[in-house]
Structure formats: C-alpha cells, structure tokens
Chain A
C-alpha cells in the first residue's frame, strides 16, 4: 500500500449496519469487524477510483487535519485490512 495505490473492497467484503447492536460493521469471510468512526470514514471513501493520496486529502479537508498525518493513518489502516484480504489495492 502506497499513496498511489487504489484501494477497494473486494467481492465478499461489505460494510453493513448491525441494526440489533446499532453498530456499523465490516463483514467478510469468517470475519466481523466493528467499525469505529475512523474506519467508517476511510471505508466510505473507497470508490475504486481514488488513490490513498486523494482519499487522505479529502479526509484531511473534512476533519481539518494535516494531510501527512491523515495519510499515515489511512495507509496503516488499509495495509492491515489488505493483509487480512479485506481490502484489495491496485497500483494507480
């Protein structure tokens, strides 16, 4: 995962609102991940077109934080999901 990578949720991985517990979750094979505010914000930006840099810029704008800081967090978060094969990334 680099700033130029274009991340996307692969088939079989989707966000879902758990209406019983009142929580947003990410569902994948044998996996249920509760999403915190950051996770939800990052995953909502995955459109299969934007690269990590563009996603980070949008989030930096939205949350009024430095891009460099946001980008580090986004990379770390998506890299972790990629190793679990819950996010795919192609080179931009």
Chain B
C-alpha cells in the first residue's frame, strides 16, 4: 500500500498574463475550453481531502485568471484543506483579495521575477507587471495574509539575490523560496539563457548562508540550488507517487508537473476516475514507486532512500531514459554529458534571447 499524499497542486488554468521563459507548465498548454468546471474542482478537492491531502496549492498559469477563484477557495476550505494561492498577483484586485480573506484563504505565495521593474518586466514579458505586483503586495500586507515570496533565480538576476531578500522583508513576507530555475518545461528550452555560472552559484550560496543567520526568526529562507551544480540529485517529489500529486487544468492527474514528458506513461483524468483509485492503482503512479524500477546503481546505493534516484523527468530530458539514474548524480554514467552541457552553455558570451511562454 502506497503512502498517502499530503499535498495537491491544482493547476486551475494555463492562462497567464505573464510569459516567463522558465514556466513549469508544459510546452503544450491547455486552452480555456478544456478547463475543468467549478463543480469538477469542488468534487476533486473533496476527494483529495478524503484521500489524505492536507495542503492544497492553487496554481496555474495564473489562478486569478479563473473567475470562480473565490468559489474554489470557499470549497477548498469547506473540504478542510489548508489553502495556498500561488500567484503572480496580476488580476487580484483589493476587492478580490478581501473576499478571499473572508473565504479563509490560508496563505499567499507571490512570485517575483526581479527586484526592479526593468528586470521583472523583461523576465515576465509583461510591461507594467512589476508595478501592479507591488501594488497587490501592499494590499496583501494590509489585509494581513501570511506571505511567501517565490523568487526564481537564474543567470540574469542571481546578482540581485541580496536585494531580493531585502524585498521579502520589506513586503512583510515570513518566508522566501529562492528557487534557482529547474530545467523542465519552458526552462529547458531556455537553458543556456538561464543557466547560472559557477561563480554566480558559489556567490549565491555564500549570500544564503549569511542571510539564514542574519534573518533568523524573521524570514525563513528555503533555497533550491541549481541542481546541475550539485553532487547528488534532488529528491524529486520526495519520491514518485509518495507525498504529492498534480491535477492539470483539464483534469489529468500527474505524479509531478512534468510527468507528461515521459513517453509511454498513460495518465488518468479526474473527471473519469476517483482520485483515490488513480493514486493507488494507476500504472503511471506505480511506474517509479519504491525501488524495484531502479537501475542497479541506485538500488544498491546508500542514498537510495535519500534522493530516490533523483528526477525521472530529468533523466528523460538529458539521457532520453526515464529509468536511468538522474544525471546530476556524481556516480551516474550520464554525469559527463551533463558537465559537457554546463561547460558549453555557460561560456562567457552573450546569453541567447529568451523564448517566452505563450499559449
């Protein structure tokens, strides 16, 4: 019997006013017509709570692009879920924020693309976006929502890390996720424009080390390092099909947001099957559960239960084999290939233009 999921990521829509070149949404985006109805989501939230999910992350695209966002938050709270809104802020008027407050929204995670309008609007591909976001942040603080900033960092903005931490404090955030771009989805397409250099990474780690002690008790700092520079892979999803699941705008149920990049896996839809059945019985959820699927290298490794062989989607993206050891691992035969990509793509030349995410 599998563990039960603690968290569900509900991608309410792929629509978004921003066009970030590292968007975690798939390259093939869902159209509005394919999106689940309010009733579908309400049913799914109830099924998630019955299955053991405690935390619901309402995400997108931009979840505020859904006109029924308020109804969905009300339903999520009625289902007993801790409800977190992951947003760029665009589309959240003061009136809407006050209604969400009334509805019991537990927490807001606000994305930031940069600490200046110039950088943020360049990365988000949306002129005026930064000013609007700052305006929304003021209202979030006024209402008193608990706030986490999610700052995605990469080659073009990693020097702004100290200013990003200062911004989190200034906006009243209790927590910041400093997330170096993970190369899935659109980010993979923009890898050479976004991959930080080794010097940048070393410097960022130093800044983070200092900041953790400087801001202790004031700001919780969660740092997601750029994993190509790591010696061991990230424990993706805490192990496939073990702690979380993801529902896409059209109702497809995934073990992680990038799982659709793995050919041969067939995914079920929450419109057709109860979530519990998908979680326990779906061949896609069972594909990489436990240790039986692992290559010998991982199965006999003492880190087997630490990183679970790393990220399946990364093994697929780099090595073309989802059952291989994540090539980030120093022990992986695929590591030289990854090192080659790193060396080639971080040459001190002008980075290539960004390819923006568009529907």
Instruction: Verify if B299 is at the interface (C-beta below 8 Å from A).
Output: no
Contact with B along A19-50 (1 / 0, CB 8 A): 11100010111101000000000000000000
- Give the distance in Å from the alpha carbon of A32 to the alpha carbon of B6 in the complex: 8
**Do B54 and A12 touch across chains, with their CB atoms under 8 A apart?**
no
Q: Which of B51, B52, B148, B217 contacts A29 (CB 8 A)?
A: B148
Instruction: Verify if A90 is at the interface (C-beta below 8 Å from B).
Output: no
Q: In the assembled complex, which residues on chain A have CB atoms less than 8 Å from the CB atom of B144?
A: 11
**Do A10 and B54 touch across chains, with their CB atoms under 8 A apart?**
no
Q: Which of B51, B80, B146 contacts A12 (CB 8 A)?
A: B146
- Interface set of B (CB-CB < 8 Å, partner A): 4, 6-7, 49-52, 54-55, 80, 82, 84, 106-107, 109, 144-146, 148, 174-175, 216-217, 219-220, 222
User: Which of A12, A20, A29, A32 counts the most chain B CB atoms within 10 A?
Assistant: A29
Whether A20 contacts B146 in the complex (CB less than 8 A), given A29-B175, A82-B217, comes out as no
- Give the distance in Å from the alpha carbon of A25 to the alpha carbon of B80 in the complex: 13
Q: In the assembled complex, which residues on chain A have CB atoms less than 8 Å from the CB atom of B145?
A: 11-12
Those 3 A-B pairs whose CB atoms lie nearest each other, nearest first: A12-B146, A20-B52, A27-B82
**Chain A min CB distance to B159 (Å):** 27
Q: Which of A25, A29, A83 contacts B146 (CB 8 A)?
A: A29
Nearest B residue to A27 via CB reads: B82
Whether A12 contacts B6 in the complex (CB less than 8 A), given A18-B54, A27-B54, A83-B217, comes out as no
Count of chain A residues with Cβ under 8 Å from any Cβ of B? 20
**Do B174 and A85 touch across chains, with their CB atoms under 8 A apart?**
yes
Nearest A residue to B109 via CB reads: A29
**Do B55 and A20 touch across chains, with their CB atoms under 8 A apart?**
no
- 26 example contacts (A-B, Cβ-Cβ < 8 A) are as follows A10-B174, A11-B145, A12-B107, A16-B54, A18-B54, A20-B4, A20-B49, A20-B50, A20-B51, A21-B4, A21-B52, A25-B54, A27-B55, A27-B82, A29-B84, A29-B107, A29-B146, A29-B148, A29-B175, A32-B54, A82-B217, A83-B220, A84-B220, A85-B174, A85-B217, A85-B220
Q: In the assembled complex, which residues on chain B have CB atoms less than 8 Å from the CB atom of A12?
A: 106-107, 145-146, 174
Nearest B residue to A18 via CB reads: B54
- Give the distance in Å from the alpha carbon of A49 to the alpha carbon of B7 in the complex: 33
**Do B146 and A11 touch across chains, with their CB atoms under 8 A apart?**
yes
Q: In the assembled complex, which residues on chain A have CB atoms less than 8 Å from the CB atom of B54?
A: 16, 18, 25, 27, 32
Q: Which of A11, A14, A85 contacts B175 (CB 8 A)?
A: A85
- Give the distance in Å from the alpha carbon of A20 to the alpha carbon of B106 in the complex: 21
- Give the distance in Å from the alpha carbon of A31 to the alpha carbon of B54 in the complex: 10
Q: In the assembled complex, which residues on chain B have CB atoms less than 8 Å from the CB atom of A14?
A: 82, 106
Q: In the assembled complex, which residues on chain A have CB atoms less than 8 Å from the CB atom of B220?
A: 83-85
**Chain B min CB distance to A36 (Å):** 17
Q: In the assembled complex, which residues on chain B have CB atoms less than 8 Å from the CB atom of A13?
A: 146
Q: In the assembled complex, which residues on chain B have CB atoms less than 8 Å from the CB atom of A10?
A: 146, 174
- Give the distance in Å from the alpha carbon of A12 to the alpha carbon of B55 in the complex: 12
Q: In the assembled complex, which residues on chain A have CB atoms less than 8 Å from the CB atom of B219?
A: 85
Q: In the assembled complex, which residues on chain A have CB atoms less than 8 Å from the CB atom of B52?
A: 18, 20-21
User: Which of A13, A18, A30 counts the most chain B CB atoms within 10 A?
Assistant: A30
- Give the distance in Å from the alpha carbon of A30 to the alpha carbon of B216 in the complex: 18
List 18 other contacts, CB 8 Å, given A11-B144, A29-B106, A30-B148. A10-B146, A11-B145, A11-B146, A12-B107, A20-B4, A20-B49, A27-B55, A28-B107, A29-B84, A29-B174, A29-B175, A32-B6, A83-B217, A83-B220, A84-B220, A85-B174, A85-B175, A85-B217
